């Protein structure tokens, strides 16, 4: 590595962008906007406290539901992988997981789903397998409208 000192010339200036490059950047940005327009994402939150050895299934109608983008689930400390969660749409179609249930402890993972739905209904199923404690589970679904 060479140090710059007194008497050494400064580094050359960056090459200026030509008008052609500016036009090309504009054209690329316009094409991206037309082909892949950014849609505003909406959010729906399921939050339920489930008593020991109980379960709940909550169906919610979401007008204009089109594409589920991400799902974030929060299991508080103490769940110890005893609280099962599944998320879906329509009456029985799964988003997460495809089969079975997810169960963690003291975790808040986010899954990228990017699934188009053919229904305006989202659901979450929570089963508390803990025989002593109630647990509050939050499920955040980010989606795009039709």
Task: Write the CATH number for 45.
Answer: 2.60.120.380
Domain presence at residue 12: no
Per-residue pLDDT of 84-101, as tens digits, reads 999 999 988 999 999 999
Domain presence at residue 14: no
Domain of residue 138 covers 41-145
- d(Cα 54, Cα 103) in Å, to the nearest integer? 15
Domain presence at residue 24: no
Domain presence at residue 59: yes
Domain presence at residue 20: no
What is the number of domains present in the chain? 1
The pLDDT of residue 26 is above 60? yes
Query: Does the pTM exceed 0.75?
Result: no
pLDDT confidence tier of residue 22, bands split at 50, 70 and 90? confident
Domain presence at residue 13: no
pLDDT confidence tier of residue 24, bands split at 50, 70 and 90? confident
The pLDDT of residue 14 is above 80? no
- d(Cα 95, Cα 113) in Å, to the nearest integer? 7
Confidence at residue 115, expressed as pLDDT on a 0 to 100 scale: 94
Domain presence at residue 30: no
Domain presence at residue 47: yes
The pLDDT of residue 62 is above 80? yes
The rounded mean pLDDT for the chain is: 87
């Amino acid at each position: 590595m060479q140090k710059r000192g007194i008497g050494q010339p400064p580094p050359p200036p960056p090459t200026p962008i030509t008008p052609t490059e500016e036009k090309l950047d504009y054209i690329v940005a316009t094409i991206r906007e037309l082909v892949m327009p950014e849609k505003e994402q909406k959010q729906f939150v399921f939050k339920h406290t489930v008593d020991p050895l109980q379960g709940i299934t909550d169906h919610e109608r979401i007008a204009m539901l089109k594409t589920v983008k991400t799902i974030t689930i929060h299991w508080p400390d103490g769940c110890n992988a005893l609280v099962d969660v599944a998320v879906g749409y329509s009456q029985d179609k799964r988003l997460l997981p495809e089969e079975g249930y997810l169960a963690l402890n003291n975790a808040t993972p986010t899954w990228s789903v990017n699934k188009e739905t053919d229904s305006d209904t989202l659901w979450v199923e929570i089963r508390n397998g803990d025989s002593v404690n109630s647990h509050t589970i939050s499920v955040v679904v980010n989606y795009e409208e039709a």
